[in-house]
Amino acid sequence: MLFEGKHSFNEQEFKISKGQNLSFMKHIHRSFEFYLQLGGTTEVVIDEKQYVLKAGQAVLIFPFQYHSYKTVENGEYVICFFSPNLVPDFYNEKNRRIPIDNLFEFIWTQSEDDNLFLRRSIAYNICGCFEKGREYIEKKFFSQDQVMSVLLYANENYKQKCLLRDAISRAGYDYAYLSKLFKKSIGITYNQYVNLLRIQEGKELLKSTNKTISQIAEECGFSSLRDFDRKFLDFTGTTPTVYRKQKRNLDFQ
């Protein structure tokens, strides 16, 4: 199982691409993933449920749902990734509901645009078409979902005290085992993952608010301003102060 960080840490992610003959191993990430078959046939497996998509059929994969692709018959597809932050009225991360069925029909008429509001309208259009007559269940955790359980715990609690020993109570495994399993599955340690979430939140607040850096550090879950400065430098190569100035200078160019 592969964890895709590139589709997990960008709070404003929106990406559309077209291609042919998609085959990809089992993986998870935080963003929504919309996949539409334009021609040919593709087998899509989502949380162990199998779908065989033909032209005009699509699936909407929710955050942290396991999924994989396998080409059955050559053909084109459209794929769209978008952050749950773009559709807050549709998805609340504290509500772990997932659809009983991910399959629906969709007619693609959109193109990617850099305008934030148009990106959100495309994402909401996908969600709106998907929502018609949709039924949901609460996400249940099973033995194979240990790592996902910890990922969800981190996403829900990174702004406060967020320790691995508290997260493992969901998965029911000992600390050493789950710590190694998390690193093996995700590619980084649990603490690194939590800090990535905090840094991403900090970047958004630095760009979009006038809060002091001390206030932002506290709001993102860091124990001190010094810790925030050090971690921010480690992850981005610059300081929070310099990052804010750079982003604001770009806004006025």
The three-class DSSP label of residue 163 is: coil
Type of residue found at 181: L
Element (H, E) at 44: strand 41-46
Burial class (CB in 10 A: 0-12, 13-18, 19+), 153: buried
Sign of torsion over alpha carbons 11, 19, 104, 66: negative
Type of residue found at 227: D
Same domain membership, residue 247 and residue 152 = yes
> CATH number for the domain including 216?
1.10.10.60
Q: What is the pTM of this model?
A: 0.72
End-to-end CA distance of the chain: 43
Final residue before a domain boundary, out of 110, 138, 166: 138
Same domain membership, residue 185 and residue 125 = no
pLDDT mean for each 10 residues of the chain (253 residues): 79 91 89 97 95 98 92 96 92 81 91 74 94 86 67 88 85 81 83 91 91 96 95 93 86 52
Final residue before a domain boundary, out of 138, 160, 193: 138
Q: Please give the residue range of the domain that contains residue 247.
A: 143-251
